[in-house]
Amino acid sequence: MPTHKFIANVENYLSLVKFSHTIFALPFALLGYSLATIHHSDSVSWKLLLLVVLCMLFARNAAMSFNRWADRDIDEVNPRTAQREIPARIIGERSALAFSIINALFFIGATWFINPLCFYLSPVALLVTLGYSLTKRFTALSHFVLGLGLALAPTGAYLAVTGNFDWIPVLISISVLCWVSGFDIIYSLQDDEFDRDNHLRSIPVLLGRKKALLLSLLLHVFTALLLVVAGMQGNFKTIYWIGLGIFSFLLFYQHTIVKYNDLRRVNMAFFTLNGIASILFSIFAITDLFL
């Protein structure tokens, strides 16, 4: 295959799985890994860190490509998504499904080299992350299933190091669940009318736009409160609290720029603000741990 075609194919698959959206969960996975390393280990294991990162990438690639495959018929008739890789015939249906299966197998394989607990739990993680793709067909709680999928990151990384559960990474995971569910509700406002017309379930369809935004705000309040509790339980110091302050500001700022009758800045709220918030908070929290 010529080099330019190979590069084009790689770019297409990176677009298929929205690789840039890795910035939501990966920083929290690194936080969970760092927390476990500081509390239960003498030094950083770069091999283990690489395996954790690979698990994140493989699981996310599997989930996103399966999502695009499962939603291919819906995406084709939705004007907002009609140009995605599968409906636009850039990537074939079978190729997308095969890509998902291969990444799922790589994910399970990577957990084998971490520890038995992670390996045994890997099918459960895949069930959640892949299962999300089907949920909006029968429940408005699909946002929370997506949140749960990303919430596995900090606890999963912690388990990779320790092989044991602990309250602090679990609290951080619950905060991620609330955070992701909240901003996914905002993102889903774009498809409110389409979902209603096509009998798909979402919080905006169930509650209406105004109440959906209020629930999103409430979830983000819970996010901040849970991170406060995690900070207190983990005896974090000043740098953590500065990072949490920045994270909380960005979290709540998105609610000032998205209105139920004005969705022009949804993408800024969804990707830009939440991506920056995730990276900055994790940098501050990890720095606090190692200083």
DSSP character at residue 272: I
With respect to residue 53, please indicate whether it lies within any of the assigned structural domains.
yes
* 82-99 as b/e: b if 16+ CB within 10 A: eebbbbeebbeeebbbeb
With respect to residue 215, please indicate whether it lies within any of the assigned structural domains.
yes
Decide if pLDDT at 1 tops 60: no
With respect to residue 13, please indicate whether it lies within any of the assigned structural domains.
no
Cβ–Cβ < 8 Å for 240, 233: no
Task: With CA atoms as reference, report the closest residue to 66 among 144, 131, 141.
Answer: 131
With respect to residue 29, please indicate whether it lies within any of the assigned structural domains.
yes
**pTM score of the predicted model:** 0.95
Task: Determine the pLDDT at residue 19.
Answer: 82
Share of the chain above pLDDT 70, in %: 98
Quote the CA–CA distance of 273 and 277 in Å, as a whole number.
6
With respect to residue 4, please indicate whether it lies within any of the assigned structural domains.
no
- CATH number for the domain including 258? 1.10.357.140
With respect to residue 277, please indicate whether it lies within any of the assigned structural domains.
yes
Cβ–Cβ < 8 Å for 153, 180: no
3-state class (DSSP) for residue 264: coil
With respect to residue 12, please indicate whether it lies within any of the assigned structural domains.
no
- The per-residue pLDDT for range 131-153, each reduced to its tens digit, is 999 999 999 999 999 999 999 99
- The per-residue pLDDT for range 63-107, each reduced to its tens digit, is 999 999 999 999 999 999 999 999 999 999 999 999 999 999 999
With respect to residue 276, please indicate whether it lies within any of the assigned structural domains.
yes
- The per-residue pLDDT for range 251-266, each reduced to its tens digit, is 999 999 998 888 888 8
What count of Cα atoms within 13 Å lies in the side-chain half-sphere of residue 37? 20
Helix and strand totals (H; E) in the chain: 14, 0
Task: Determine the pLDDT at residue 183.
Answer: 94
Task: Determine the pLDDT at residue 42.
Answer: 66
Quote the CA–CA distance of 251 and 179 in Å, as a whole number.
8
| Domain count across the chain | 1
Q: Token digits for 4?
A: 């330019």
Q: Supply the range of the domain harboring residue 232.
A: 23-290
